[in-house]
Amino acid sequence: MTKSTWMRLGVCMLAAVAMIAMLEGCAKKEKAAETTTTENTESTPPETMANTAAAGTYTAAMANGTTSLMLNTDMSASLSLQPMAGAPAQVENGTWANGATANDVAVTFSKSPMDSTMSLTLNFTAMGDTLALANGEAVGMAGLKLVKQH
């Protein structure tokens, strides 16, 4: 790989870590994320059940770290960024849904530090078993492609 490619990969990983830090907010003393679970007692409509086709675990291994995205059948999502081997992974939990077209997937993460809600949506385009981040430039992760693990 050329020096500029290594630099771009490094910048992408740093931007990804910065994005996660932004989502963590300014509250330094907050050590555990608070999760709220809502039980849905209504039957699931057929169009919602079709959305789970993209469910699974997707990963990308780069020279400067690993990114993993888990899309669960209950429409919850988990994004893990591990900047280097041995370093603790930064994990964000959110939700996912199919986008406007059949091969679009939108993953949304929200945090509520200090009485204000911050939200970030990652828009992916599915190509077979690969999810390519469509809005990578806007979120600091240009060129990210995740491959589904079987």
The tens digit of pLDDT for each residue in 56-93 reads 999 998 777 899 999 999 999 999 988 887 788 889 99
pLDDT at 17 (0 to 100): 45
Task: Assess whether pLDDT exceeds 80 at residue 49.
Answer: no
The tens digit of pLDDT for each residue in 108-135 reads 998 877 767 889 999 999 999 999 999 9
Are 26 and 99 in contact by the 8 Å Cβ rule? The answer is: no
Burial grade of 61 (CB within 10 A; 0-12, 13-18, 19 or more): exposed
Higher pLDDT, 27 or 23: 23
Task: Assess whether pLDDT exceeds 70 at residue 45.
Answer: no
Give domain 3-24+51-148's CATH number out of 3.30.1490.270, 2.40.128.300, 3.30.360.10, 1.10.10.10.
2.40.128.300
Taking the model in full, what pTM does it have? 0.65
Tell me the backbone φ, ψ of residue 35, rounded to 5 degrees: -115, 135
Are 19 and 139 in contact by the 8 Å Cβ rule? The answer is: yes
Task: Assess whether pLDDT exceeds 50 at residue 46.
Answer: no
| 3-state SS record for 39-63 | CCCCCCCHHHHHHHHHCEEEEEEEC
Domain boundaries, the chain: 3-24+51-148
